[in-house]
Amino acid sequence: MSGRCLEIGLLLYPGVQLAAVYGLGDLFAVANRMAASPEREGLGRLRVSHWQADDDGQVRRVFDSQPQADGAPQVVVLPPCLDAAAGYVLHSAYRDWLARLHGSGVTLASVCAGAFPLAAAGLLDGRTVTTHWALAGELAQRYPKVRVLPERMVVDDGDLVTAGGLMAWTDLGLALVTRLLGPTIAAETARYLVVDLNRESQRQFSSFVPSFDHGDAAVLNVQHWLQGQAMADASLSGMAERAGLGERTFLRRFRAATGLKPTEYCQQVRVTRARELLEFTRQSIDQVAWQVGYRDAGAFRKVFTRLVGVAPGDYRRRFGSAAR
């Protein structure tokens, strides 16, 4: 083997998704294979290690793909876990270890809920990150100093790299291959694994999950009303009347309860319904727009593209089942 050894450590904290751990190992092995051709003499190779806390609370190396090599990891990755709560109670030994590594110049990376341990260690304060779209609100609420961009698949902030949903370990892995071995090796690795190298957004996979547990009965009454046919024709005056409040009072209380202006909330509800119609019916896009409350199909297309990240027609081609 020629070239320098570039170590990527994977942290096996409690609840970690082993499929991602082994999948990352396979992805980096493929990248090494792509980098092994004679004309790439001198290109580095990726070494994969696993790290875990022992009974004494010391984080130690428990696996090494190249045990004969010396050195320490240049990057440590927190893979995803199926239970985000695992990151909330991560042993202090892990948090202290991560803080020491980061302080010594090691790049830290996370996938999905793996961002929570980094935030708990105070390492994400003032930084821009991403996580699974369904966890973004909770991450932002628990750690208000962190700027969360749930629409992004990967956020490379230099010494901190975060990736979105559970399967975004492929995106993170390819981003690290690009950084350590170059874009050509990353492209060849992606081609061999038959995965997309350039996924930038997870908005098209996300869904709007409104808050119903805020305790404001008047606002809740309007939310339930909007989930039905009122969605298509609701106006600010109609919503305020339904709540039994003046418009200014309704605006203030609705935003406090849901985190959104009534117009923004209605857009989310309408686009959610439009996605269902695009996925499961053969209605034209103009018909879908009309059914969810847009009399101007052009305006519908603009709102849909802004919230989902792709145009309605592209969304149907990717996720629609009625035409298959």
Residues annotated as catalytic are 112
Tokens of 194: 């038959």
- Give the closest residue to 34 by CA, choosing from 157, 226, 186: 186
In contact, 164 and 154? CB cutoff 8 Å: yes
Q: Which residue do the tokens 């005056």 mark?
A: 237
In contact, 108 and 89? CB cutoff 8 Å: no
Residues in Cβ contact with 293 at an 8 Å cutoff, skipping those fewer than 6 apart: 231, 232, 233, 234, 266, 270
- How far are the Cα atoms of 54, 120, 127, 225 from residue 155, in angstroms, in the given order? 31, 18, 10, 38
Judging by DSSP bridges, how do beta strands 75-78 and 107-111 pair with one another?
A: parallel
Instruction: State how far the Cα of 27 lies from the Cα of 31, in Å rounded to an integer.
Output: 6
Identify the H or E element spanning 15: none
- Maximum distance among all Cα pairs of the chain, rounded to whole angstroms: 76
Q: 59 has which bridge partners?
A: 53
In contact, 45 and 6? CB cutoff 8 Å: yes
The length of the chain is 324
- Torsion (CA) 51, 53, 54, 58 in degrees, nearest 10: 100
